[in-house]
Structure 1
Amino acid sequence: MTSPVATFETPVSDVDPFSYDVLEDPLPFQAELRAAGPVVYLKKYDVYALSRYEEVHAALTDWQTFQSAAGVGLSNFRYEKPWRPPSLLLEADPPHHDAPRAILTKILGPREIRRLSESWAADAENLIDQLLANGTEFDAVADLAAAFPLRVFPDAVGIPHKGREDLLPYGNHAFNAFGPANELVAQGAPRVAELSTSIAAQCAREVLTPDGFGAQIWAAADRGDITEAQAPLIVRSLLTAGVDTTVNGLAALIYAFATNPEQWTRLRENPGLVRTAFDEAVRFESPVQTFFRTTTRDIEVGGTVIPEGRKILMFLGSANRDPRRWENPDEFDLSRDPSGHVGFGFGIHQCVGQHVARLEASTLLSALARRITTIEISGQTRRHHNNTLRAWESLPVRVRAD
């Protein structure tokens, strides 16, 4: 095969995208990347960065050239052993990816999850009742964005109550591990074995309730649609990807409305905007900021030849703020059509649980909009640093209720 020929010198950056300053506020660095060119070589990690919407979207949809099976983190599974068995959803390509994806697509489809709407709506109302009973000031991360998914999603999966406290710490480490072996990974390392054992125990057939997503996955193994060895790994993928990302998506939503009160007024006047609001918040904040791919051949992108077998780092958050794709991208705007954002990925590896996340968000947001007239930041906010996620540690708010 004849290799493509580069047409210009690739821009180089010495910045560490996983440094404290960038994780605290990635927007200036992402703007520098987009301005530098369609491909930028990141010297510190010997990887190629894609930060503009067009190139990120193209890489996400071309799984044949930009493979996930070598890992969606910095570690290259061609040469390095993963710290845990790879995800059958995130870290696999066809044909190995096909059966697990088909099973979850059916289980988590819109019709299948609609049955959860009524009970989740009641849970949302109860949660808001509890919050308002204790006053009008609370932490929107711990008391709302984390509390609601941890209340409804584990029940939907059917996992036991014991061990649920390990879901967020395990997910935090899993998403940190997609980045370099830095201090954030080291902080989670002492609990890896303990947390992995806990999560594995929750994926076992015998502990799952008979009416949850987990039991449906095991039923697929009984039918022969997947193997018995695959079943617990698929349940694990559901737990890993379905909690932290939703928590951070909900926190992004509350932050966006607290800092854009006119948009909250617009939502209350038009409650039908709840789904648009969540997708716009995901575009605006991009709870999942980055993912890696590995090239399967020499490929020219924007004049740069990326050799076969090299890691590329896709900046999803940057693509979602690219002015080439979005008008006034730094504004949170409910009049925008946010469809097409890459906050859930794109292509065959697009987040299979996005319908669940949207239902959680629209349910909670609808309940809030009926009860809460204003939301405002009431204290010092703190970011939670993670190599992959854009997250909040604390988001103190003050609300006024009808």
Structure 2
Amino acid sequence: MATVLVAGTCDTKGAELHYARDCLAAVGVAARIVDLGTGDASRAPADIEATTVAAHHPDGVSILDLADRGKAVAAMALAFERYVAAQTDIIGILGLGGSGGTALVTPTMRGLPVGVPKIMVSTVASGDVAPYVGPSDICMMYSVTDVAGLNRISRVVIGNAAHALAGMVQHPTPEAGDTKPALGLTMFGVTTPCITQLTDALSADYDCLVFHATGTGGQSMEKLVASDALAGVLDISTTEVCDLLMGGVMSAGESRLDAIADTGVPYVGACGALDMVNFGARDTVPSHYRDRTLYEHNSQVTLMRTTADENRRIGEWIAAKLNACPGPVRFLLPEGGVSAIDAPGQVFHDPEADAALFDAIETNVRSADTRRVVRVPHHVNDPAFVAAALAAFADVMSDARG
């Protein structure tokens, strides 16, 4: 029978887990408590015992005897991922915990498809939750009080979380019935005109999914690529690479572009916003960058112009990734400028730095019948560049069919 898992450590959060399960049952949602703890849970036994979960770890139930708490949490998190992957009746997960419990539950949540309800009630939900949420649609709810017993606050918070999850599973959003293939496009504020024109041109034939290139945006898009959910990619805004290499705050990590290589999905890339590294408010810019060309995008975002030397590094990194792609690839070099503020008269206009970027990509990419670098003598937001991107997209889709 389809069921919701209420996940946590029964040795320390047993009362809260039972309360959450009862709240779900009261509104007609079948739920089972799964114990992820390594201690004595006899006072609040689970429906799915820790030994059942631990048996899915390569080392088996011996992980329950690990003395090191960090190693025990990591091992049980892996076991829980494998346990859930082996089930066919899970329709949602409600997790409860502190930092350890959050680290136990959320890796499994991240492995579930987008759309499967997942709520994590956590003591760390008011801080930086990016490491827990990643590219997934996990709903993080701050517990307000510690998850350390039931009280007038925790009952309300946990009850709200349970009822929210019940609403998700009892009233799923109807499928749109759209049979158009899906495309992934990456956008940054400074490449918005380009992406708007592309989606206008393609939306009649494709379901255009636009991802904000803020680190998790690129990760989210590539997660869908890895799930074979996208028919093609227009990766116009590859700016996350700048943050990876120069220490900015919007990196998508070393694995950026790996899903493109692993799947061979038809791919059109470009140098959108490769002129900038992202930091927070101006006073957060590292001291060794303070004398650089900086632009305050808003009170919370400061952009730093990349130099020619940095752009060579960026170009070499991108080229190495593209060389690993077996599928059809076109990578466009917008010679008129790579962002809204990289144009004549704008603060980041630097033809020398752009030329270093373009030359590094063109020199290091190993051209092939299905892999080409294309110079476009227009600005990234110009209609003529958009036309070139559409032509490149038609080419890679044709290559894929061929």
- TM-score for both structures, normalised by structure 2: 0.23
Which structure has more helix as a fraction of its residues? 1
Which structure has more strand as a fraction of its residues? 2
| More relative contact order, 1 or 2 (CA 8 Å, 6+ apart) | 1
- TM-score for both structures, normalised by structure 1: 0.23
